Amino acid sequence: MTTSEGRRVSGHPSRELPHFTAWRVTPACRGAILADHVAQEALITTEKALDLIDFGSVQVDGRQETNPERRLAGNEEIRLYWPWKGIQRFYEIDPERILYQDRVLLFYDKEAGIPSQQTPADGYNNLFAALFRHFKKSGAASPYVALHHRLDRDTSGVMVFALDRSANRRLGEAFEQRSVVKDYLAWAQGSPPADEWVSREDIGRKGGRYCTLPRGQGKPAETAFQVLHAEEGRCLLWASPRTGRTHQIRLHLAAAGLPILGDSLYGGPPDHRLYLHAYRLRLKHPVTRQELSVTAPVPTDWPPPRVPAIPAEPGT
């Protein structure tokens, strides 16, 4: 951001964020149009500024702003995140991956490598934005999509979205009250300590990274695990998180000495993907109250056995 002498601050790229340029709008720029202001401050053409704003790479006071005609009031903080690979619009949903849809709900089998929602530098290539575009192209007069939970970028599997505002309250309450049952599959490195166990380490942040902490020193987290298949050096596990902390399953398995294959962030061996898959969601329909159980097929690029004896519940 601009200092009292008018200098700007540049942020160095990290594992999570690309390079960014930040500044604070001076009183002299009050009333300026956002696209023109970004072009002037970033030393780029207005056309490039328009494209970056449309791509979701510009934040005003911490929120993505996609209206290039916005008039600035002065004193706003502007951040311009430079996309890792430039402006590339490559992702659209695959209708074949829609697992269930009715008037108010949609379940989708998210691909590995695709964010659930916008990232600081890219508001286009994510599942949430692509679903909105899908309904808009389908002719919906006022397309509506609401996000109530997320999967990590590299985790595949089932997600649920609201397609009507009437579903939001009960769907939100279901996640908050932990009545949505989430079942995952994971290939991990190492030998499991038991056929079944429950991890209860807290989860917090240290040094800018998520980590497990002794109980009482972070946010409570609990995951039930069951071994489905074991072979030399690795095992296939069933995981049922009873809380919804960031990277919960990955962290609990790493703490147990069982890092997930492909999870280089938490000590897993390198592989072409993260072997964590959201296999099933179970919840009451927010409108009809019908019990729903929606399964995302095991990815075809997983090692065999891809479909072992999947239990209805852990421990059965």
Closest CA to 203 of 239, 241, 246: 246
Bridge-based pairing state of the strands 77-81 and 20-24: antiparallel
Residues noted as catalytic: 152
- List the beta bridge partners of residue 16: none
Query: How far apart are alpha carbons 164 and 308 in whole angstroms?
Result: 37
What percent of the chain stands above pLDDT 90? 86
Q: Which letter, b or e, does each residue of 57-85 get, where b requires 16 or more Cβ atoms within 10 Å of its Cβ?
A: bbbbeeebbeebebebeeebebbbbbbee
Cα end-to-end span (Å), the chain: 56
Q: pLDDT (tens digit, 9 = 90+) per residue, 27-43?
A: 999 999 999 999 999 99
**pLDDT at residue number 192:** 94
What's the pLDDT tens digit per position in 120-135? 999 999 999 999 999 9
Convert the pLDDT of each residue in 248-290 to its tens digit. 999 999 999 999 999 999 999 999 999 999 999 999 999 999 9
Task: Please state the rounded mean pLDDT for residues 235-246.
Answer: 95
pLDDT band, very low/low/confident/very high, at 94 (cuts 50, 70, 90): very high
Give the pLDDT mean for 66-90: 95
Q: Is the pLDDT of residue 152 over 60?
A: yes
pLDDT over 70 at 310, yes or no: no
| Whole-Å CA distances, 276 to 3, 69, 241, 253, 303 | 44, 42, 13, 11, 12
Q: Is the Cβ–Cβ distance between 73 and 85 less than 8 Å?
A: no
Residue 2 confidence (pLDDT): 42
CA distance 206 to 86: 31
- Whether the CB-CB separation of 289 and 173 falls below 8 Å is answered with no
* Residue the block writes with tokens 């200092």: 3
Taken in order of first residue, the domains within the chain and their CATH numbers are 9-81 (3.10.290.10), 95-295 (3.30.2350.10)
For 156-178, what is each residue's pLDDT tens digit? 999 999 999 999 999 999 999 99
Q: Which residue has the tokens 């929602």?
A: 117
Cis peptide before 270 (omega within 30 of 0): no
Residue pLDDT, tens place only, 176-209: 999 999 999 999 999 999 999 999 999 999 988 9
Task: Count how many residues are written for the chain.
Answer: 316
Q: Which residues contact 261 (CB under 8 A, 6 or more apart)?
A: 187, 188, 189, 234, 268, 269, 271, 274, 275
Given a cut of 90, whether residue 14 has pLDDT beyond it is no
